[in-house]
């Protein structure tokens, strides 16, 4: 078993690179020496002549003998005085020249020069060395493959020593309640004797539950950094392999390694990949996944709490986990890591702005107020987008307008500069978005308008942005009805101005129908249906609602459809009534949009109030603004924890 104290101790080690490097250098040196030595040893002895000089000496009777090599063309021999010579002749030798040499009394022979013994030995040594290197390489490769097969059941967890990770709770901004709840794990790992004296037992497993990007993995690393114990991190997908039984083997190896380093923390990220409900789904459960889950349940139930092993896991889908995984004795404590609220978004923004050059006009509190519903990852992306926008502008610091542009980029999408609308289309979009904006201003419970634009952005041809006056967690029926009415504003405005309809309201109608159906089926906001609720269909891959069966009758289905239709038609009527009353304001706003293309909330309020000659119907002041005066999170559905209901134009 590999040393668990080394990071990645469970991995496979290949052949050393240094050995192969020295072998290659040695082969190159031997080849160079052999080539040089062979050329030196094979060079013919004696003085070197050119061929014409050789023939002239032979004609003068100064050459005693000559030996021709028809392969290389080298001619060697001796002068009459006994000294040797060599020259290069044509290949093959010219028969006329040979006849002249013999006529002049030169003894002519034909024989290749003898190979030297050293060159022959070097030639065979080179071939032997190359052959041996190939055999060694093949042997090492085979050993690596065999060791890889034998170690396939080892855990792939990344092991961090006591000095890593260095993340602490100070690096996790916000989430004071979550850190307070999870600090018990740190106290147990640091001082387990305090818990033993009073008879308390620390939870064996802690499940971090929350939306993506809220910092669940960061919290787990902070726990390991605070406790100063080994931290073993593994993803749920690392247990899955094509061979049956490998996942269970890796689970066993993971816990064996953790026991050797106790006290320690085992962190499994995305545990829902192996912890789904057993015996569910199309065609039954997955054998490999179920074996892996069974082994994990057995290991968690088997080890004693005094061993000092704490298992942590993170998921954003706790509803699909197996009930046996969540029972007491296993993951018996669930810590919810929600989306940050206003007080938590400000310190998160400060953390992400530490390494940025922020301008003096940037108020991070205003930015935090204008980002309801954003997770920590969203805020980090927002700050980075603002920095990128500042670089594109050529600015030396990130200013407030960079944050505004980054919000528009993150929340609405990239502006489509290449899409050009005709004048008629642009005017229809202006009336469509103007209908949304006017209703958002005059309705008493609607979120205020922040910005209206007819510039194509993202998938929409125009966007009306709204922001809440305050962060909402509970939505009264008046607020939902006004949200439905605002979404109807674009459709109704087109009907009032043009007397016909277009495809521009498709996205608004989809969102309104879904929200109205939730009012009837889930929220109990229908007098005919009463205090009854039916949730949405279950997930087919979990074996729930495979045939999409309903637990209510056909008569109730008809009542639900009638109630949904009634709610939508009532809100359409309200939208028609309010827009008819404020028709001059709608026309003024449309003209302003055609001229400026983008109008803010204050300008919308001024145009509507000037057209009426007084304040709006709800008695609100024209300076009514949303929290922070910034952009909100787009979404077609009301969700707890803040957020708005922006209305998009034709798509």
Q: Would you please indicate which residues are annotated as catalytic (active-site) residues?
A: 433
627, 471 Cβ separation under 8 angstroms = yes
Cα–Cα distances in angstroms (integers) from residue 597 to residues 149, 316, 426, in the given order? 64, 40, 9
Give the three-class secondary structure for 611. helix
3-state helix, strand, coil in the chain (%, to 5): 50, 10, 35
The H-or-E segment that residue 268 falls in is: strand 264-269
DSSP 270: S
Question: Encoding tokens for residue 543?
Answer: 């074996």
Question: Encoding tokens for residue 550?
Answer: 């309903």
> Measured between alpha carbons, how far is 186 from 167 in angstroms, rounded to an integer?
13
> Measured between alpha carbons, how far is 550 from 561 in angstroms, rounded to an integer?
14
358: number of CA atoms within 13 Å, CB side?
18
In DSSP notation, 404-471 reads: HHHHHHHHH--B-TT----HHHHHHHHHHHHHHHHHHHHSTTSPPEEEEE-S-BTTBS-EEEE--SS-
> Measured between alpha carbons, how far is 463 from 127 in angstroms, rounded to an integer?
76
Nearest to 295 by CA among 254, 266, 331, 261: 254
Residues 6+ apart with CB under 8 A from 423: none
44, 86 Cβ separation under 8 angstroms = yes
- Using alpha carbons only, give the angle 90, 96, 101 rounded to the nearest 5 degrees: 90
> Measured between alpha carbons, how far is 76 from 78 in angstroms, rounded to an integer?
7
- Other C-beta atoms closer than 10 Å to the C-beta of 610 total 13
Beta pairing partners, 160: 231
Question: Encoding tokens for residue 499?
Answer: 């007397």
The dihedral sign for the CA sequence 582, 588, 590, 593: negative
> Measured between alpha carbons, how far is 536 from 523 in angstroms, rounded to an integer?
12
Question: Encoding tokens for residue 172?
Answer: 């996790």
> Measured between alpha carbons, how far is 487 from 649 in angstroms, rounded to an integer?
10
> Measured between alpha carbons, how far is 251 from 338 in angstroms, rounded to an integer?
30
DSSP 2: -
Task: Please state at what angle helix 601-612 crosses helix 583-596, rounded to 10 degrees.
Answer: 140
> Measured between alpha carbons, how far is 511 from 392 in angstroms, rounded to an integer?
36
CA dihedral 231, 232, 233, 236 (to 10 degrees): -140
DSSP 159: E
Q: How far is CA 580 from the centre of its chain?
A: 49
46, 54 Cβ separation under 8 angstroms = no
* Torsional class of 105: left (φ above 0), alpha (ψ -120 to 50), beta (otherwise): left
DSSP 399: -
Name the maximum alpha-carbon separation found in the chain.
135
């Amino acid at each position: 078993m590999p040393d668990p104290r080394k990071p990645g101790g469970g991995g496979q080690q290949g052949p050393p690179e240094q050995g192969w490097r020295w072998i290659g250098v040695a082969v190159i040196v031997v080849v160079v020496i052999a080539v040089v030595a062979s050329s030196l040893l094979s060079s013919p002895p004696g003085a070197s002549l050119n061929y014409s000089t050789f023939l002239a000496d032979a004609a003068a009777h100064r050459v005693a003998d000559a030996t021709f090599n028809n392969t290389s063309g080298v001619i060697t021999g001796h002068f009459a005085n006994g000294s040797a010579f060599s020259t290069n002749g044509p290949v093959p030798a010219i028969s006329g020249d040979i006849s002249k040499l013999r006529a002049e009394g030169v003894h002519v022979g034909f024989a290749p020069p003898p190979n030297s013994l050293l060159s022959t030995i070097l030639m065979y040594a080179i071939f032997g060395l190359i052959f041996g290197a190939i055999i060694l390489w093949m042997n090492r490769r085979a050993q690596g493959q065999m060791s890889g097969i034998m170690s396939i059941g080892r855990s792939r967890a990344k092991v961090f020593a006591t000095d890593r990770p260095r993340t602490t709770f100070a690096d996790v901004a916000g989430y004071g309640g979550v850190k307070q709840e999870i600090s018990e794990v740190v106290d147990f790992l640091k001082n387990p004797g305090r818990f033993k004296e009073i008879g308390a037992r620390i939870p064996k497993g802690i499940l971090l539950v929350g939306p993506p990007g809220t910092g669940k993995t960061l919290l787990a690393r902070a726990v390991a950094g605070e406790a100063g114990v080994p931290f073993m991190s593994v993803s749920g997908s690392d247990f899955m392999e094509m061979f049956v039984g490998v996942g269970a083997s890796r689970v066993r190896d993971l816990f064996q390694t953790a026991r050797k380093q106790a006290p320690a923390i085992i962190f499994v990220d995305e545990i829902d990949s192996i912890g789904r409900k057993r015996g569910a789904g199309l065609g039954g459960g997955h054998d490999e996944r179920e074996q892996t889950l069974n082994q994990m349940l057995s290991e968690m139930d088997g080890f004693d709490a005094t061993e000092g092993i704490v298992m942590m896991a993170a998921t954003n889908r706790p509803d699909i986990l197996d009930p046996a995984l969540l029972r007491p004795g296993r993951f018996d404590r669930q810590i919810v890591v929600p989306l940050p609220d206003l007080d938590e978004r400000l310190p998160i923004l400060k953390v992400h702005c530490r390494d940025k050059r922020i301008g003096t006009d940037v108020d991070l509190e205003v930015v935090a107020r204008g980002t309801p519903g954003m997770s920590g990852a969203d805020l980090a992306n927002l700050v980075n987008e603002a920095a990128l926008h500042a670089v594109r502008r050529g600015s030396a610091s990130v200013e407030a307008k960079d944050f505004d542009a980054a919000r528009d980029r993150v929340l609405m999408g990239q502006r489509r500069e290449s899409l050009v609308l005709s004048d008629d289309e642009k005017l229809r979009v202006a009336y469509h978005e103007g209908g949304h904006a006017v209703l958002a201003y005059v309705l008493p419970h609607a979120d205020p308008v922040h910005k209206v634009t007819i510039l194509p952005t993202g998938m929409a041809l125009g966007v009306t942005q709204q922001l809440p006056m305050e962060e909402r967690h509970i939505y009264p029926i008046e607020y939902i009805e006004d949200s439905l009415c605002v979404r109807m504003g674009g459709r109704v405005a087109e009907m009032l101005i043009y007397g016909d309809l277009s495809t521009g309201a498709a996205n608004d109608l989809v969102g309104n129908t879904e929200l109205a159906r939730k009012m009837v089926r889930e929220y109990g906001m229908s007098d005919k249906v009463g205090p009854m609720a039916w949730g949405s269909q279950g997930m087919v891959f979990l074996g729930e609602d495979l045939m999409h069966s309903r637990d209510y009758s056909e008569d109730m289905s008809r009542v639900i459809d009638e109630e949904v239709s009634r709610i939508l038609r009532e809100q359409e009527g309200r939208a028609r009534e309010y827009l008819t009353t404020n028709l001059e304001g709608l026309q003024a706003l449309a003209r302003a949009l055609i001229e400026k293309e983008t109008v803010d909330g204050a300008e919308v309020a001024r145009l509507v109030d000037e057209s009426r000659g007084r304040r709006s119907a709800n008695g609100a002041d024209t300076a009514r603004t949303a929290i922070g005066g910034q952009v909100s999170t787009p979404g077609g559905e009301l969700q707890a924890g803040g957020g708005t209901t922006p209305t998009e134009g034709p798509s």
